[in-house]
Structure 1
Amino acid sequence: MNTWWRRIVLSLVAVFGIVIAYGYIYRWGMMTFEGEERTIYQSIQVVIESLTTAGFGGDTDAWNTTPMNLIVIGMNLSGVLLVFLALPLFVVPLFQRALATQPPASTDLADHVIICSHREREDVLRNELEAADVPSVFVDDNPETVMELTDDGIEAMVGDPEHEQTLRAANIDDARALVVDISDEANPEVILTARELHDDIQIISVAEDEGVTVYHRYAGADVVVRPRQVLGRGLAAKAAMAVTTELQETIELGERLEITEFLVERGSALIGRTIGESSIRNRMGISVIGTWLNGEFVPAPGPETVIEENTILLVAGSHERLTELTSRTVAPAEDRSNRVIVAGHGEVGRTVSEALETDDLAHTVIDRREADSVDIVGDITDETTLAAADIANARSVVLAVNDDTAAIYATLVIEKIAPKTEVIARANETETVRKLYRAGAEYVLALSTVTGRMLSSILLEDEQVLTPETQFEIVRTDAPAFAGRTLGEIDVRARLGCTVVAAERNRELMTDLGPEFTVRRDDALIVAGSDETVNRFIAASR
């Protein structure tokens, strides 16, 4: 019996107890004060009439003494009090429960993706799936979460995905894939349950720690993704970019075309110049696909666009030309060392440290807990800890802490005591990215974005995300809705806010795409932009 019904039963018992007690009091009062005898049943009838204010029958003429009148007055007042208590405590809640919408516990979707649990990184995945016209449903055991999603028009259902009946209600027999992102410990049980129900369904599991990956595979996962490791490598690459003039990781689209992003550092020769004045396009032959500054993406910036400090440039060109541009974006050598401080030694921080060690870059590790690879034990938001790490003479700080609030506060502290030290930050949620930029961070990557991109790249056959660990999204995708139309007619940059960088046709890469280029149905287009603009392109091209 649940709490609500227990309350109702106890309340009814109390009411009946009051009626019986008043019945005996009334019977005693009539005998004692009025000298008239009443049966217990006659007394209970009068009590009920008094409590419900339905009338008093023929006994009103028999109440001639003050004590008896007081007894009746007490019963009347008790009845009114009971009514006023019952309305807010029972009647109103009963109506509210009857009118309240219950969270859905099933779905009628088919050929859909079942997403077990709901976090913001699953929202990124859902947006990618929605752009590709692939239906999805969230399965979460929190009714309030499901109600909020449902109110926002998002398909969701309540239930425990570890139970067979929940997955059956999620229509697993007709689903195309299952994404499990609950916890490292809970994921295997969901995988085993799903595999028992549908042996052929594609199952993707999200793992936090490297050690659990093998168990997720043993349970039956087809693919296990580790977004924290990818995020750590991306942060390390940005830290390495700040201390070397060598060209870092690029996306190779062909023998003569690569895409990469550059952080224009403090002191760079490009700062204050327009793109036209920088001769990036004219003399160097490099295409500026987009710029990113303080969380704002600008696709295909014009020659009048001014390059500011900490602008991130997304560019395409030959390896030789990009290498030349590297030396112009990196600031000239200063008295500070090229040492990197890594704050946090979890999965992301360890990956950053390992990558920096592989690149033979000096680094200092700070963490709250003592460990073999931790150089300084302390709080990254504490000025004393930062002073012990000689923050003022470090080239950059990688904030790999698993707490967005701590990362924001640490950024503010570092900007105050060491404004020349670059801050490269990890965020858990996408909404934190802008806050970190406003706090003073030079480069920010969100775990939710990396996770969503990695999952969508696996799930969508017609779309491949080439850059899960960068600020920009670059995808290889087909565009059947644009077949037979030129890029000029489509007007991708102005209408959709992204850029078609190249096209693959009959296994040949075509990079010199003018407005007259006509898209064919079998073409695969390389599209670059922000997550929002790329999703807009994919939705329009279907």
Structure 2
Amino acid sequence: MERRVRRRIAVFVAVLPVAVLLFALVYMVGMDHLEGRPRTFGQAVVWASETLTSTGYGGDSRWSHPLMIAYVALVQFVGITLLFVSFPLYVIPYIEERFEGRLPRTVPRKLRDYVLVYRWGPEVEGLHAALVRADVPCVVFEEDESTARRLADRGLTVVFGDVEDDDVPDEVVRRARAMVLNGSDADNGAFVWSARNAGFDGDIHAFMAEPRHRGPMLRAGATSVYTPQHVLAAALAAAASERISPRISGVRRLGGGLEVQELRIDAQSPLAGRSLSDARIRERTGATVIALWREGRFDPCPRPDARLSPGTIILVLGTPDAIERLSETARPLRRTGPIFVLGHGEVGRKVVELLADADESVCVVDRRPDAGADVVADALDADALERAGIADARAVVLCLESDATTAFAAAMVRDLAPDAAIVARVDRPANVVRVHRAGADFAVSIGQVAGEILVQHLLGDQAAAHEQRVRIVERPGRPLAGRTPAELRLRETCRTNLVAIRRAGRVVTDVDPNAPIEPDDVLVLAATSEGLRAFDARYGSDAGSGRPA
């Protein structure tokens, strides 16, 4: 903005004398030919200056010819207009620039080995939070002055510049460990070229809006290219359909009549507000809580003190009878019916495409007649949604334009389809909790998925593994023979669930926590890959020699 202000002032300073000169010359001609009272050039310049600045008149204050009167009035209006235009365009920005602190054009001298983020946005908020948690410095190169000032006020390290003006200091580029580009596709390409020309040979990760631009961006010098909108769509589709991404794998091979069910803890449920240990779900129903979604976040192995707040989705494993007993206190999510997609923009279209590829029955709702929707209606039109049969939906995916609209739609759909899973697209990670509390069961932000794309690349071993899928596997019980499940405390020590024991040819789901494990037992565990690695590392290689369930 500083350059723009200087350019504006330069143009204003150049144009003003020309305007005074032109008005003065016309005034000299008018006074000579229309009024019959010739004026010198100096007198005409004084008149033009007085008129344009609205400071009043000296010797000339009366005119008789109509054309002369009209000309004087015109110049007066021009002067007033220039006065009002000059203040917001030139004077106020100049004063703000003088009194506000100047935005830095480079990084602090001692700062090195940082991740350089080009252009701030929801896509990089999650990544920035992960870098802060890992104590990795991050520098934001921002072209929008208001955004740069807002980030600087929040304590972020900001460099202000403009790629189009080749305003990227070489030292800012060379001292970075890696780069993440979040501008437009063309600006990202320009930044890649600037960085490579400055001698940067580290990794450059670019977010692109158009998938077909991936090849040109890689040829320009980018290390990797991602399309966050499509990754977000894949996450939404996976949350809505178990055909795309089962919450848990290996159950069918386990046998024993076991099945998996998702249930919601309503505010009226006796389980609401209680911890897992206090709820004693396994002791009372025979079903095992394997994982849960709470306030939009997935916990693949909740600890005993995990709170079952209203709206929490619990993923349980058990026999049909056990799940039936649990459904008396928690509402099972519907497992049949179509999937409704509200909003058919870029993300919505990709969600529909992925669901169709999985042979899901999909109903698309969009207010635009040319959007290819099954139902042409506003996503907040409750009557239209009821006529479309949303009450029978298995899941509803919200791909709407703003987080505020998404939150309101989640609350409305919860009333219309109380048994459906509501999956919501959220732009800003900070709004995930709000959308979840409004009624969404699964809320996915573009910042979350975009950050997860890059966090492993940028942080390596410092990155915390994040895996949504839980696996059912078997491990031999011999290394743990003689010890009880209560003594092992696998949830706390390994983030692993002991869901059953295969003993004497049958699957025992009602595991006594105080009964010792027998040498010939086969332990049936539920955990992510990270949890299973922790189990195998803790209990030796023999424990890891089992097979998937």
- 1:113 is paired with a residue whose SS is strand
TM-superposed CA distance for 1:155, in Å, is 0.8
**Structure 1 residues 238 and 366: alpha-carbon distance in aligned structure 2, compared to 1, 3 A threshold:** same
Report what 1:166 is aligned to: 167
- 2:445 matched to 1:446? yes
Question: CA contact under 8 A between 2:181 and 2:204: conserved in structure 1?
Answer: yes
- 2:241 matched to 1:240? yes
Query: Where do 1:379-398 residues align within 5 Å?
Result: 379-398=378-397
Report what 2:226 is aligned to: 225
Query: Where do 1:81-100 residues align within 5 Å?
Result: 97-100=97-100
Question: CA contact under 8 A between 1:368 and 1:378: conserved in structure 2?
Answer: yes
Name the Cα RMSD after superposition.
Answer: 5.6
**Structure 1 residues 147 and 249: alpha-carbon distance in aligned structure 2, compared to 1, 3 A threshold:** same
- 1:121 is paired with a residue whose SS is helix
Distance in 1, Cα, partners of 2:425 & 2:348 = 10
Q: Could you report, residue by residue, the CA deviation over 1:327-369 in whole angstroms, capped at 9, with x for unpaired residues? A: 86795587x9521111233443234334433443322123345
Question: CA contact under 8 A between 1:270 and 1:307: conserved in structure 2?
Answer: no
Report what 2:338 is aligned to: 339
Question: CA contact under 8 A between 1:454 and 1:468: conserved in structure 2?
Answer: no
Distance in 2, Cα, partners of 1:127 & 1:194 = 24
Question: CA contact under 8 A between 1:453 and 1:468: conserved in structure 2?
Answer: no
**Structure 1 residues 265 and 231: alpha-carbon distance in aligned structure 2, compared to 1, 3 A threshold:** farther
TM-superposed CA distance for 1:456, in Å, is 1.9
- 2:103 matched to 1:103? yes
Question: CA contact under 8 A between 2:263 and 2:333: conserved in structure 1?
Answer: no
Question: CA contact under 8 A between 1:268 and 1:332: conserved in structure 2?
Answer: no
Distance in 2, Cα, partners of 1:325 & 1:230 = 36
TM-superposed CA distance for 1:430, in Å, is 1.7
Report what 1:153 is aligned to: 155
**Structure 1 residues 500 and 2: alpha-carbon distance in aligned structure 2, compared to 1, 3 A threshold:** farther
Query: Structure 1: which amino acid aligns with 2:533?
Result: L
Report what 1:208 is aligned to: 209
Question: CA contact under 8 A between 2:228 and 2:450: conserved in structure 1?
Answer: yes
**Structure 1 residues 187 and 268: alpha-carbon distance in aligned structure 2, compared to 1, 3 A threshold:** farther
Query: Where do 1:370-381 residues align within 5 Å?
Result: 374-381=373-380
- 1:455 is paired with a residue whose SS is helix
Distance in 2, Cα, partners of 1:264 & 1:14 = 73
Question: CA contact under 8 A between 1:247 and 1:322: conserved in structure 2?
Answer: no
Report what 1:501 is aligned to: 495
Q: TM-score, normalised by structure 2?
A: 0.60
- 2:225 is paired with a residue whose SS is strand
Query: Structure 2: which amino acid aligns with 1:193?
Result: S
Question: CA contact under 8 A between 1:342 and 1:364: conserved in structure 2?
Answer: yes
Report what 1:61 is aligned to: none
Structure 2 spans left out of the alignment, 5+ residues: 1-5, 24-40, 44-57, 60-82, 255-259, 471-490, 497-526, 540-549
- 2:120 is paired with a residue whose SS is coil
Query: Structure 2: which amino acid aligns with 1:4?
Result: I
Distance in 2, Cα, partners of 1:499 & 1:155 = 38
Question: CA contact under 8 A between 1:289 and 1:499: conserved in structure 2?
Answer: no
TM-superposed CA distance for 1:445, in Å, is 1.1
Report what 1:362 is aligned to: 361
**Structure 1 residues 323 and 175: alpha-carbon distance in aligned structure 2, compared to 1, 3 A threshold:** farther
Structure 1 spans left out of the alignment, 5+ residues: 19-39, 44-69, 72-84, 473-492, 518-542
Report what 2:69 is aligned to: none
Question: CA contact under 8 A between 1:115 and 1:137: conserved in structure 2?
Answer: yes
Distance in 2, Cα, partners of 1:172 & 1:225 = 21
Q: Percent identity among equivalent residues?
A: 26
**Structure 1 residues 393 and 288: alpha-carbon distance in aligned structure 2, compared to 1, 3 A threshold:** closer
Query: Structure 1: which amino acid aligns with 2:356?
Result: E
Query: Structure 1: which amino acid aligns with 2:343?
Result: G
**Structure 1 residues 469 and 96: alpha-carbon distance in aligned structure 2, compared to 1, 3 A threshold:** same
Report what 1:27 is aligned to: none
Q: Could you report, residue by residue, the CA deviation over 1:290-313 in whole angstroms, capped at 9, with x for unpaired residues? A: 76247899996546x664553134
Question: CA contact under 8 A between 2:313 and 2:441: conserved in structure 1?
Answer: no
Question: CA contact under 8 A between 1:235 and 1:352: conserved in structure 2?
Answer: yes
Report what 1:140 is aligned to: 142
Q: Could you report, residue by residue, the CA deviation over 1:357-404 in whole angstroms, capped at 9, with x for unpaired residues? A: 344332212334567974333432233542453212222210123432
Question: CA contact under 8 A between 2:118 and 2:182: conserved in structure 1?
Answer: yes
Report what 2:276 is aligned to: 275
Distance in 2, Cα, partners of 1:212 & 1:218 = 10
Distance in 2, Cα, partners of 1:299 & 1:415 = 27
Within the candidate set 120, 123, 126, 1:124 is matched to: 126
Question: CA contact under 8 A between 2:292 and 2:298: conserved in structure 1?
Answer: no
Distance in 2, Cα, partners of 1:512 & 1:270 = 37
TM-superposed CA distance for 1:422, in Å, is 3.6
Report what 1:404 is aligned to: 403
Question: CA contact under 8 A between 1:295 and 1:437: conserved in structure 2?
Answer: no
Report what 2:8 is aligned to: 3
TM-superposed CA distance for 1:417, in Å, is 4.1
TM-superposed CA distance for 1:287, in Å, is 7.4
Question: CA contact under 8 A between 2:292 and 2:315: conserved in structure 1?
Answer: yes
Deviates more, 1:221-230 or 1:425-434: 221-230
Q: How many pairs align?
A: 429
- 1:509 is paired with a residue whose SS is helix
Distance in 2, Cα, partners of 1:325 & 1:196 = 65
TM-superposed CA distance for 1:13, in Å, is 9.2
Q: TM-score, normalised by structure 1?
A: 0.61
Question: CA contact under 8 A between 2:426 and 2:445: conserved in structure 1?
Answer: yes
- 2:104 is paired with a residue whose SS is coil
Report what 2:423 is aligned to: 424
Query: Where do 1:315-330 residues align within 5 Å?
Result: none
- 1:177 is paired with a residue whose SS is strand
Distance in 2, Cα, partners of 1:299 & 1:508 = 11
Report what 2:461 is aligned to: 462
